[in-house]
Amino acid sequence: MDRSMDGGRKDVGILAMDIYFPPTCVLQESLEAHDGASKGKYTIGLGQDCMAFCSEVEDVISMSMTVVTSLLKKYKVDPKMIGRLEVGSETVIDKSKSIKTWLMQIFEGCGNTDIEGVDSSNACYGGTAALLNCVNWVESNSWDGRYGLVVCTDSAVYAEGPARPTGGAAAIAMLIGPNAPISFERKYKASHMAHVYDFYKPDLASEYPVVDGKLSQTCYLMALDSCYQQFCKKYEKLVGNQFSISDADYFVFHSPYNKLVQKSFARLYYNDFMRNCSSVDNDAKEKLQPFSNLTGEESYQSRDLEKASQQVAKHLYDIKVQPSTLLPKQIGNMYTASLYAALASVLYNKHSSLDGQRIVMFSYGSGLTSTMFSLKLNNGQNLFSLSNIASVLNVTEKLESRHMTLPEKFVETLKLMEHRYGAKDFETNKDTSLLPPGTFYLTRVDSMYRRFYDKKADEEIAAAKAKYSNGHASNGYANGH
């Protein structure tokens, strides 16, 4: 390595973060009733409270433009200081042109077109791939001192049926560089990659996936086991001590729905029991003993084991996992953004007590790709401090200012989007009434399938206009091609 540069590259990781999610959402409780599902099926069965969805003026491109613009502004980052921009997404709008190229509009204005990176794709894992790529870039010989920027953006929608309540939508942006308050413990990392058809999108004309829910859940847990076992092995080889869940302060899981997160943490606890970790107490040992001779396959199918392990892990779940579940429960599955929305939830809920703590992350993308990795936290400074990140995330206010939509309206929107997916030559209703100031939105798709976006006026502009121009509403400046 070029030693002269080493000094600038300690603690490479996440310097800053912002999240955007649509203001339109539907309560799982009302969706349950609307769908004629048994009471509690979505709220307790899936563990979800609410689900965000894109109205006809929003998509993964508009959401990512909104969140990148917001991050640059709120953390006062000059767009010229970005040297790499990578996007993780599984929401395909164009099969060739990357979402990254749309985001280049933000940087072309100031003459910065020398920005590496494209889109990473494999189901919900693409954001993690983009993030790891960006961190590697900062640590590589080709780093030029500028920041990396990672965007996770997805709109998760499902055909009518049991998977529909597991949708969601959001975009997250993360700024990457050295001396980060959220840095990577590079050597504690393990992946599990395999060829499986648990969830995939082979019907190219439809936005909806093909899902084998039961297989997908088993694949998730198998991948979790495999990653955790490798992770522990690597940790133990390097550190010399056995790793157990007591060695991390938080566990953050990719969250298709909250119930699977509960099962996942219980599964780690069961792993610790099977690995004879001293951290597993006697009461738990006794309760898990009946399951110690199960084969792997049996253990994934046993409802009794599921119940017993969730019960013995419950007190630790409340401490080590619960703080990460805020946004995923309120927004739903955000695909690539899901894991990082869960991380954002921990940062938001616990920022004042995270100094020196460790967060273990588990990323899963069907098909399948998965990685478990470790983050080390420190308070950071000024704009790039945990407390400032929490204040920019502004989760409570963002959640509270949302508009609860009736299930009928949600279903109607999805119907409309089915017709518009991959379509050309249409205009949207341009209804921006629910969008926060500064939000990008889709105005039309022309006869050549080209997409045009506009931006709702920023807060200051909106305020100024209201003051000086008799309060006429303005939709801001053109931002099309």
Whether residue 252 contacts residue 361, with contact meaning beta carbons closer than 8 Å, is answered with yes
Q: How far apart (Å, rounded) are the C-alpha atoms in residues 28 and 18?
A: 25
Q: How many CB atoms lie under 10 A from the CB of residue 140?
A: 11
Q: What is the DSSP string of 323-390?
A: GG-HHHHHH---GGGHHHHHHHHHHHHHGGG-TT-EEEEEEEETTTEEEEEEEEE--EETTEEHHHHH
254 carries an active-site annotation: yes
For the bound state, the minimum distance from the C-beta of residue 367 to its own copies, rounded and expressed in Å, comes to 4
Angle between helices 213-239 and 258-274 (to 10 degrees): 40
Distance of closest approach, residue 462 Cβ to its own copies, in angstroms: 26
90 catalytically annotated = yes
Q: Which is nearer to its own copies, 320 or 451 (CB)?
A: 451
Block residue for tokens 């309540």: 165
Q: Which CA distances in Å does 54 have to 64, 176, 254, 306, 331?
A: 13, 28, 21, 35, 11
State which residue, 37 or 92, has the beta carbon closest to its own copies.
92
> What minimum distance in Å lies between the beta carbon of 338 and its own copies?
14
CA 311 to chain centre: 27
List 250's β-bridge partners, or say none.
359
In the complex, least distance from residue 373 CB atom to its own copies, rounded to whole angstroms:
9
* Unique residue bearing structure tokens 């000094």: 7
Q: Which of 90, 134, 207, 227 is an active site residue? A: 90
Q: Based on the number of CB atoms within 10 Å of its own CB, is 287 exposed (0-12), middle (13-18) or buried (19 or more)?
A: middle
DSSP code at position 42: I
Closer Cβ to its own copies, 97 or 415, answer by number: 97
Q: What is the H or E stretch that residue 103 is in? A: helix 99-108
Beta carbon nearer to its own copies, 164 or 192: 192
Helices (H), 191-249: 213-239
Q: How far is the CB of 434 from its own copies (least distance, A)?
A: 27
Catalytic residue among 86, 219, 254, 306: 254
Which residue's CB is nearer to its own copies, number 82 or number 414?
A: 82
Amino acid at 178: P
32 contacts 411 by C-beta, under 8 angstroms: no
Asked if residue 216 belongs to a known ligand binding site, the reply is yes
CB of 187 to its own copies, least distance (A): 7
Element (H, E) at 176: strand 168-177
8 A C-beta contact, residue 147 and residue 123: no
Residue among 25, 50, 54, 124 flagged as catalytic: 124
Query: 14 or 123, CB closer to its own copies?
Result: 123
Q: Which is nearer to its own copies, 23 or 117 (CB)?
A: 117
Residue 259 labeled ligand binder: yes
CA distances from 34 to 208, 389, 406, 412 (A): 21, 38, 9, 13
Tell me if residue 61 falls in helix, strand or coil: helix
The tokens describing 376, both together, are 């080390």
Q: Write down the least CB distance from residue 63 to its own copies, Å.
A: 16
Nearer to its own copies, 119 or 306 (CB): 119
Is 169:118 a contact under the CB 8 Å cutoff? no
CB of 123 to its own copies, least distance (A): 5
**Is residue 187 part of an annotated ligand binding site?**
no
Binding site for CoA, residues?
A: 216, 259, 263
Binding site, residues?
A: 216, 259, 263
Residues designated catalytic: 90, 124, 254
